[in-house]
Structure 1
């Protein structure tokens, strides 16, 4: 038994035989051509064939993984028509009188090296795209069909790497999992794997020379382990774990497509909390009604410098487009306290949870905030986007934010940049101050989202990061629950909606309580959506409401 470790791209357990993936690579040779014009024409015909193949891949991906994930094949079509790329190939053919395969191969290496040397992670990913389209061209020029590997039985695919086109071409019914030596968790292939719900590992230092073809293995997408020739005890444990996961999925899949409606007809929205673009696949997979909290600070935490407007816009746009018109609520930058970013150069604080954080930073460093607002409103043109602001303690803060919003919208309008006028603006309710003036705040915004994690620590004066205080940290404390009810009541009295995006929203012991309070929305981790929906659909609020509300 051999155990290799890698990084999990998608969870799950797979047990089966290994199939080493063989790319349709041709040995590229350089040879002289007499008729350069005819060779250029041969290249153009091959390019046309490659474009048609990519169109077919787009249609297949559109049906299987949705429009946003299929877009990569439109991008590849555009890359094939890129003027610089084509000029490099045709100029080489005409001036050096060499064959098309060689010209494509050299151009691919040059462009891939150029992209790989860039600092921007997004641009680095384009190196793999250039290689992918170039390999497709060489395959067509060499007489290949570009259809990839075929499998006679379900297998665990082992490869050096998999291009997006190769992943989409896989017969999902014949793929148990895939394991690659290379790849990135932000690559198109990783995103597709998550969307297709295929257990996958990347960065596994295992031989791919064919020695393991047909050998039994286990992929543990929860721990990142790749176990080759597992012993009987290990295989049995993994099989039991796999069966457990399957049973859970089968049970909860019955909840997909069902309404979030109680037995007595009360409806509540179930949204998902996410930290990055890659999590959207899990949101869709678990049938969430929208995204109730996109933690935009992760764009800053994962970067070595301030994310540019373009970088942020690209991420926000991708999320709203992928959600196909479902609501996406993006929280503006919420750093400070336990989320520190070195390049912000913030002073050390004795009480960071009570210090310079979240909206306080944004209203102090307005250019950072303005950049984010511009990116957000630009993305609003591509879907149903809402914006919420964290750590609010006063009406004046909200009014200052709204003033900046209007300035940003005026700038975009003047510059002819599209944005939506139908963007809800909301605030996080996570301080006792915001609870106590929630009747006044409700007149200024479109919605409230209650951040129960911070609200609990501020209400109880307990640092939630301090393990010594765990025994007395009580999110069920009557004071916390009364505050939640106060916020909901004040929201409804002023015609706006109120939800919860903290961890408390998924607490099964409080589902009845939140329904009785009349909360309009609960936003939780994607994996908890279907279980929470099941609990909602089995609750009769009319039978418990009087008893529950009597506590408050």
Structure 2
């Protein structure tokens, strides 16, 4: 809202819309860059990226994607999310950026893609010409320009050792995690998309410790239907087979706004109308998700968890909604798992203080740190 206001004020003074928008974007991006927190500073790139895409529409030009005609090391001042998304992953050998840090999109995406990356190298790296031979060591955080034969050989040996180590780790991913004093530790994954279930399994996950169902509500214009929910849950459960899957009911609001719900503006939305409070005050929305979860449960170890529980009354009300959904599903002739564990997040002070009371009414806790 503040961004739009600043652009509108400039337009009212006679500045054309394109210039007003560009100036407003740069103003707020510069403010973010002055913040002490590195994660928030890195968000300046997000603001410029979104602003640039809006500007492309204003001036009637198509977004310029990055082209890679052959496998290459990508060198840039910084990379915006939309630029990274346009890259052909198979042709990216590594990333080098003049700016950015460990929380920048370049660093995050490079890790997700398994590509080496060195960020924050300074502007000198931008002087490298296309076709220059470069070695990139993401582990050491260094690059070597025009390496000699010995350096290339040493680098190749280090890369070979790293690849062998990675292969050994992948081969052992499915082994049980046992500490040196012979304690068995369950290792489960935190996922927020259907396709992430298979990735988790490939890396040795013994189940899903947190299925963040918000992905079904975000980046869309209308609320997901029961069939939308069901398709997603069944796909994930099919991949995980008999392994446990803990699905957290919608935790929207706060840092996850949903425009079609008309959430009110609040001074502190993180502790305001969000998560279970929305669910209980919008039971028709809650029921859609609960029914889909119950319909997906037969033959699987599905567990349901409620977020942001602050009082016993909230927990009991959520469980009552679940029971109401169960009756609706069985009345419609759909089977439901005979045993379905119900838990809650412990992420607000009152939940921690009243943990002994909550424990008598839940099957499990998940600690939100």
Tell me if both proteins adopt one fold, taking TM over 0.5 as the criterion.
yes
Distance 1:260 1:348, change over 3 A: same
> Which residue of structure 1 lines up, in the alignment, with residue 226 of structure 2?
309
1:289 is matched with which residue: 206, 230, 254?
206
| Deviating more after overlay: 285-294 vs 256-265 | 256-265
CA distance in 1, matches of 2:267, 2:202: 42
Q: CA deviation at 1:311?
A: 0.4
Structure 2 residue 305 is matched with structure 1 residue 388: yes
Distance 1:267 1:244, change over 3 A: same
CA distance in 1, matches of 2:308, 2:237: 24
Q: Secondary structure at the match of 1:282?
A: helix
1:231 is matched with which residue: 125, 132, 137?
132
Structure 1 contact 317–382 (Cα < 8 Å) conserved: no
Distance 1:258 1:348, change over 3 A: same
Structure 2 residue 253 is matched with structure 1 residue 326: no
1:222 is matched with which residue: 110, 116, 120?
110
1:261 is matched with which residue: 178, 183, 188?
178
User: What stretches of structure 1 of length at least 5 have no aligned partner?
Assistant: 1-157, 159-175, 177-200, 207-215, 453-552
Structure 2 residue 289 is matched with structure 1 residue 372: yes
Q: CA deviation at 1:252?
A: 2.3
Provide, for residues 352-406 of structure 1, a one-character-per-residue CA deviation record: whole Å limited to 9, x for no partner: 1221111011001110000000011111125221110001111111111111111
CA distance in 1, matches of 2:254, 2:203: 31
Q: CA deviation at 1:293?
A: 0.4
CA distance in 2, matches of 1:245, 1:380: 41
Structure 2 residue 253 is matched with structure 1 residue 352: no
Structure 2 contact 187–207 (Cα < 8 Å) conserved: yes
Structure 2 contact 210–248 (Cα < 8 Å) conserved: yes
> Which residue of structure 1 lines up, in the alignment, with residue 79 of structure 2?
none
Provide, for residues 245-304 of structure 1, a one-character-per-residue CA deviation record: whole Å limited to 9, x for no partner: 525513523532322222222222111101111111220111011000011012111322
> Which residue of structure 1 lines up, in the alignment, with residue 333 of structure 2?
416
Structure ranking higher in helix proportion? 1
What count of residue pairs does the alignment treat as equivalent? 246
TM-score by length of 2: 0.60
Distance 1:419 1:219, change over 3 A: farther
1:343 is matched with which residue: 240, 245, 260?
260
Structure 1 contact 218–235 (Cα < 8 Å) conserved: no
Q: CA deviation at 1:305?
A: 1.2
Query: What RMSD, in angstroms, separates the aligned Cα atoms of the two structures?
Result: 3.3
TM-score by length of 1: 0.41
User: What stretches of structure 2 of length at least 5 have no aligned partner?
Assistant: 1-68, 72-83, 95-108, 116-129, 138-142, 145-151
> Which residue of structure 1 lines up, in the alignment, with residue 363 of structure 2?
446
CA distance in 2, matches of 1:277, 1:242: 32
CA distance in 1, matches of 2:88, 2:189: 34
Distance 1:260 1:204, change over 3 A: closer
Structure 2 contact 174–205 (Cα < 8 Å) conserved: no
Whose radius of gyration is greater, 1 or 2?
Answer: 1
Distance 1:255 1:407, change over 3 A: same
- 1:14-25 paired onto structure 2 within 5 Å: none
Could you list the structure 1 runs, at least 4 aligned residues long, displaced by more than 3 angstroms after superposition.
Answer: 201-206, 216-221, 234-245
> Which residue of structure 2 lines up, in the alignment, with residue 406 of structure 1?
323
